[in-house]
Amino acid sequence: MDNNIDIILKTKGLVSGYGHTTILHGIDIEVPREALTTVIGPNGAGKSTLFKALFGMLAISEGLVTLDDKDITHLSPMKKLQHGIAYVPQGRNIFPELSVEHNLELGGVSLRDLKETRQRMEKVYEQFPILKDRRRTQAGTLSGGEQKMLEFGRAMLLDPKFLLIDEPSIGLSPVLVQQIFDLLLELRDKGVTILMIEQNARQALGISDYGVVLQQGRLALDGTAHEVLNHPEIGHLFLGGAVHVAGTE
C-alpha cells in the first residue's frame, strides 16, 4: 500500500478461527480512510471469518488490530461499536414483526439516551428517505432492498466511522444491487470508511477504491481496485484456480 495513503485500520499477523480450527493464517491488511475497499476470494478463503474477528465476534489468537493506531485487538463487539465500528452481517438481520421505527430504536439501545437516539434516527431518515416513508410499516413486509437499507440505517444510527458489510447484494435483483452500491458510494462520500465482502467481485471492484484478495486464509493480493481487477491471475482465481500466496509452498 502507498505510504502516502491515510490508513484507518491495520491488522498485523492476524490469526483466528473456530475452536481448534485456524482459518486466518497471519493476515496483514491496511484499510484506507474514507474509502470503499472490497474483499474478494473463493468460498472458504476466510472473508467472513476476518470480519467476525475484526468486530470481536471471534477470538484473535495471535496478531494485532489497530484503529487510528489504537490497539482494539481483543475488544468486545460493544466496545468496538463505541470506537466507531459497525457491522452489517450477511443475510437478513431485522426484526420482521416490528415496525421500521422500532427496528431502528433497537439499533440505538447502546446509546442509552432516548433523546439522542431520536435525533440520530432523524439523521438516518434524512440519509434513507424510503425508511422515513415506511417508518410505521412492519419490517418483514419491506422489499429485499428496503430491508437491506434498514440494516444499513440501523448501523448508521451509531454514527460509525468504519463500516463492515458482508455480502450486501446477496438475494437482490440487479436493479436493487445497483441501488445498494450507489448507497455505499454515498456513505463513503460522507466520510464513512467501508470494508465490504461481495460475491459479485467484478461489479464490486468496479465501484471500489481498493481491493483485497484472500486465498486459503492468507492475503494473496491487495492494491487499488483497478490493480486488483486487472491482475492477470484474478480471473483464474474465480474460475477455480489460485493466486500464489507466499509461504504456502
| Tens digit of each residue's pLDDT (9 = 90 or more) over 162-216 | 999 999 988 888 888 888 899 899 999 999 999 999 988 888 999 999 999 999 9
Residue 3 lies in a domain: yes
Is 61 among the domain residues?
A: yes
> Is 182 part of any domain?
no
Distance CA 137, CA 105 (A): 14
What is the extent of the structural domain holding 47? 1-84+161-166+192-249
Q: Is 133 within a domain?
A: no
Three-class SS state of 207: helix
Coil, helix or strand for 166? strand
What CA–CA distances, in Å, run from 165 to 38, 89, 116, 123? Answer: 9, 6, 25, 20
pLDDT digits over 25-81, tens only?
999 999 999 999 999 998 899 999 999 999 999 999 999 999 999 999 999 999 999
* CA proximity to 31, closest of 210, 156, 159: 210
The grid coordinates listed for 131 are 425508511
What amino acid is encoded at 114 in this protein?
A: L
Domain assignment of residue 147, yes or no: no
Q: What is residue 196's three-state secondary structure? A: strand
CB 227 within 8 A of CB 209: no
Report the number of distinct structural domains present in the chain: 1
116 belongs to a structural domain: no
Alpha-carbon distance of 9 to 245, in angstroms, equals 22
pLDDT for res 179: 84
Helix (H) or strand (E) holding 161: none
- If you average pLDDT over residues 214-232, what whole number do you get? 92
Strand stretches in the chain, DSSP E: 7-18, 21-32, 36-40, 60-67, 70-71, 85-88, 162-166, 193-197, 210-215, 218-224
- Domain-located, residue 224: yes
Strand partners, 65: 11
CA separation for the pair 10, 66 (Å, rounded): 5
Rounded-to-integer distance, Cα 50 and Cα 217, Å? 9
Give the domain CATH number at 232: 3.40.50.300
In a domain, 218, yes or no: yes
